[in-house]
Amino acid sequence: MILLLGATGYIGEAFAKELERRKKKFVPLSRRQVDYTRFDRLLEFLRANQPAFVLNAAGFTGKPNVDACELDKAGTLLGNTLLPQTIAHACVAAGIPWGHVSSGCIYSGAKISEPGKVRVEKDLAKPELHALAEKKSPAILGFTEADTPNFSFRDQPCSFYSGTKALGEEAIAGIGQSYIWRLRIPFDEFDNKRNYLSKVQRYPKVYENVNSISHRADYVSACLDLWERRAPFGIYNVTNPGYVTTRHVVDLIEKHLKPARKFEFWQNDEEFYKVAAKTPRSNCVMDASKLLAAGVKIRGVEEALEHALKNWKPE
């Protein structure tokens, strides 16, 4: 049996759906039933029920966006740092391997390959770098699992949310047997206020940047594949290989969904942060080659985006 924590959430429900599709026996556990944020309660549950694997899709995401985390720092720290640490210790005490949903938002920018060196560039909105991204230049490299997070409390500025996600990874590193699965900007074909494609359609103005993104069903499937293949434990970037500019996403929305509205973009960061956002946003390119090298199949970002928009299910 697999124990699924956070099954009521946006990502947890996708895990539940995929586990059902695979006909895997699993128990979705909510804090309402057992307060799994408490070490003693969780350990008692693990010892009594002996799951073969624990999936942690629980955590604190600000709603409607990360700015909300700045207003509940204690809740954010509890959900994203202390909870994974509690689960890690309970799982090691019960001798159970587990997987943790982390985030790619602990990085900003990309690595830029130049003659004789590779440098980190935090701001891909700079015109010369954006131009490289638009033409999918091979000079733009994603962050790998070996790269130290650069959008964290240790490398500021960062949002409080990102800081707690990076700290969460640190808190569980080296404890027991675990996967850290980094998700990045979930999207799919189901219109939902949590879906990136829905968000882009509903923003009064759109923020232009460059990002790797994760199709929700592809993400949960890849995570479960890693476990089922018994891939080595550790960190995996679980994004659809590649990256997109927001402009390109808008072009695809216009092409497939033909919305009545005309999309407008914020002129620059200054206007965006003055009017629409408070805390700094992570925008970054991730390298998914470790996932692919583990033998997991996942569609490229273009294919996943086209598929989601061709099969769009309005709310």
Binding site for ligand NAP (CB under 6 A): 6, 8-12, 30-31, 37, 57-61, 75, 78-80, 83, 101, 103, 165, 183, 186, 194
- Of the pair 57, 171, the CB lying nearest ligand NAP is at 57
Six-digit token string for 7: 């099954």
Q: Whose CA is closest to 141, among 165, 184, 107, 169?
A: 107
Q: Which C-beta is closer to ligand NAP: that of 58 or that of 284?
A: 58
Q: How far is the CB of 198 from ligand NAP (least distance, A)?
A: 12
Sign of CA dihedral 125, 126, 131, 137: negative
Least Å distance, CB 256 to ligand NAP, is 22
Nearer to ligand NAP, 9 or 109 (CB): 9
Q: In whole angstroms, how close is the CB of 119 to ligand NAP at the nearest point?
A: 26
Closer residue to ligand NAP in complex, CB, 80/198: 80
Give whichever of 36 and 112 is closer to ligand NAP, judged by the CB atom: 36
Strand partners, 214: 186
Contacts of residue 47, Cβ cutoff 8 Å, sequence gap at least 6: 94
Task: Concatenate the DSSP letters of all residues of 46-66 into one string.
Answer: HHHH--SEEEE------SSSG
Structure-token pair, residue 86: 């509690």
Q: Nearest-CA neighbor of 239 among 150, 305, 173, 170?
A: 305
Supply the minimum distance, in Å, between the C-beta of residue 106 and ligand NAP: 10
Q: Which pairing describes strands 214-215 and 186-187: parallel, antiparallel, or unpaired?
A: parallel
Question: Shortest approach of ligand NAP to residue 152 CB, angstroms?
Answer: 14
**H or E element that contains 242:** none
State in angstroms the smallest separation of the CB of 125 from ligand NAP. 20
Strand segments (E) across the chain: 2-5, 26-29, 53-56, 98-103, 110-114, 117-121, 140-141, 178-183, 186-187, 210-211, 214-215, 234-237, 244-245
**Which one, 61 or 221, has the nearer CB to ligand NAP?**
61
